[in-house]
């Protein structure tokens, strides 16, 4: 590291999973390297989780991109001596762009837009032009972003995967047993879990349909869903109509989510548009066998050779159900895949490597270091 920098991590994300969890690791890691880190959030839920973790965070009202919001952020930036602002929501980018009209800043767009192609609006083009760099978590989202918003190709480009400390993602065996008991699930009963934001693009309907097929084949299992979102009610109705035995846990604390994943026999991840799913990393660290779609960024995270998870190549519910059934019926194979997945997480995506890469990127942008991209 060439010198300490002032860094603002800015997010208006409403929920913890995703940006909240990633920024927690960044805030800690960059602060440990001597940087002045100011973590700015707008969600009370996200702020409360940072407080629980002992990570200093400043909560501001950022519902709009008006003068009041910009002035509030500028006050924080001046006090912190901010050199770099990292943003990952369109609103945050607009706020940072307006800030840069008054204060010299290096703006890094941590691109996180998933799902259907969106036409770029003028404000997207103008604000992107105010940025210094675009940061992508993998090649999948880089290619997608440049296709949707070609102006990003004019910025310096960095690909930095998320990093994880597998030892911190741990659950006591007793806690898993207690979780099953609390849910009325026996210690030997089969549990299949899906975790995420319930929106149509995530395709959690495929998990339910697969469970229906498996029940028809005589497999006795309980489906568990952790999360909330606009499609949750329709998913619950779909499961009810299909006769799928299910537990709907809603939004859980990070610790309770990990406990549920650890207590499950299989993580069913039907999402075809995931960038770099934290739930996959959590299952990898907890040695919970995974079946996922070979789509989005899943193969980059899990590897493409099938040695760490069952990857489904087609869009057929029967194939997804077959993958779940194989892991449930062949315990030894599930354990082997899970062990390989944990090893991959530790060796390919260590947290220190991610922090080092962010540090190097920022030093390069501010002009205090020179690294090869």
Q: Give the contacts of 213 (CB within 8 A, at least 6 positions apart).
A: 317, 318, 321
Is the pLDDT at 372 greater than 60, yes or no? no
In a domain? residue 216 = yes
Query: What is the pLDDT, as a whole number, of residue 1?
Result: 45
pLDDT on residue 20? 84
For residues 95 and 124, membership in a common domain is answered with yes
Same domain as 80, residue 196? no
Cβ-contact 243, 215 below 8 angstroms: yes
My answer on whether 124 and 191 are in the same domain is no
When the pLDDT of each residue in the chain is averaged and rounded to a whole number, the result is 92
Residue 130 counted as domain residue:
yes
Q: Do 145 and 11 share a structural domain? A: yes
Q: Are 340 and 347 in contact (CB under 8 A)?
A: no
Do residue 157 and residue 181 come from a single domain? no
**Containing structural domain, residue 291:** 173-348
For the chain, the domain total comes to 2
Q: Residue 232: name the closest of 256, 207, 254, 255 by CA.
A: 207
- Measure the CA–CA gap between 334 and 287, rounded to whole angstroms: 9
Residues 194 and 320 in one domain: yes
- What's the CATH number where 148 sits? 3.40.50.2000
Whether residue 373 lies inside any domain: the answer is no
286 and 304 inside one domain: yes
At 43-55, the pLDDT tens digits run 888 899 899 889 9
pLDDT band for position 173 (50/70/90)?
confident
Per-residue model confidence as pLDDT tens digits over 4-15: 999 999 998 887
As a whole number, mean pLDDT of residues 131-155 equals: 91
Q: Which residue has the higher pLDDT, 88 or 281?
A: 281
Burial bucket for residue 337 (CB in 10 Å: 0-12, 13-18, 19+): buried
> Are 10 and 72 contained in the same domain?
yes
């Amino acid at each position: 590291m060439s010198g300490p920098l002032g860094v603002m991590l800015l997010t208006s994300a409403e929920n913890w999973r995703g940006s909240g969890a990633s920024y927690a690791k960044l805030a800690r890691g960059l602060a440990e390297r001597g940087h002045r880190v100011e973590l700015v959030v707008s969600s009370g839920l996200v702020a409360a989780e940072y407080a629980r973790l002992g990570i200093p965070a400043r909560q501001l009202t950022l519902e709009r991109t008006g003068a009041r919001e910009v002035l509030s952020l500028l006050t924080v930036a001046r006090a912190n001596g901010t050199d770099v602002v990292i943003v990952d929501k369109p609103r945050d980018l607009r706020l940072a762009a307006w800030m840069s009209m008054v204060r010299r800043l290096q703006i890094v767009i941590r691109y996180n837009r998933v799902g259907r192609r969106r036409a770029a609006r003028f404000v997207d083009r103008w604000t992107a032009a105010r940025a210094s760099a675009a940061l992508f978590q993998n090649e999948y989202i880089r290619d997608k972003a440049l296709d949707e918003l070609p102006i990003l190709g004019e910025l310096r480009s960095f690909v930095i995967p998320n990093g994880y400390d597998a030892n911190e993602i741990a659950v006591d065996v007793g806690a898993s047993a207690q979780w099953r008991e609390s849910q009325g699930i026996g210690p030997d009963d089969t549990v299949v879990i899906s975790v995420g934001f319930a929106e149509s693009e995530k395709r959690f309907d495929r998990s339910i349909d697969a469970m229906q097929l498996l029940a028809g084949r005589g497999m006795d299992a309980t489906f568990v869903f952790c999360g909330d979102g606009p499609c949750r009610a329709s998913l619950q109705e779909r499961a009810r109509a299909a006769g799928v035995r299910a537990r709907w846990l809603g939004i859980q604390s990070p610790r309770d989510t990990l406990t549920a994943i650890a207590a499950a026999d299989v993580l069913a991840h039907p999402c075809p548009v995931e960038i770099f799913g934290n739930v996959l990393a959590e299952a990898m660290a907890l040695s919970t066998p995974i079946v996922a779609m070979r789509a989005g960024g899943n193969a980059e995270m899990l590897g493409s050779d099938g040695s760490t998870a069952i990857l489904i190549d087609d869009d057929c519910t029967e194939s997804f159900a077959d993958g779940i059934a194989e892991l449930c019926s062949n315990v030894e194979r599930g354990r082997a895949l899970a062990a390989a997945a944990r090893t991959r997480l530790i060796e390919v995506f260590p947290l220190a490597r991610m922090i080092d890469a962010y540090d190097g990127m920022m030093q390069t942008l501010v002009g205090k270091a020179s690294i090869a991209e």
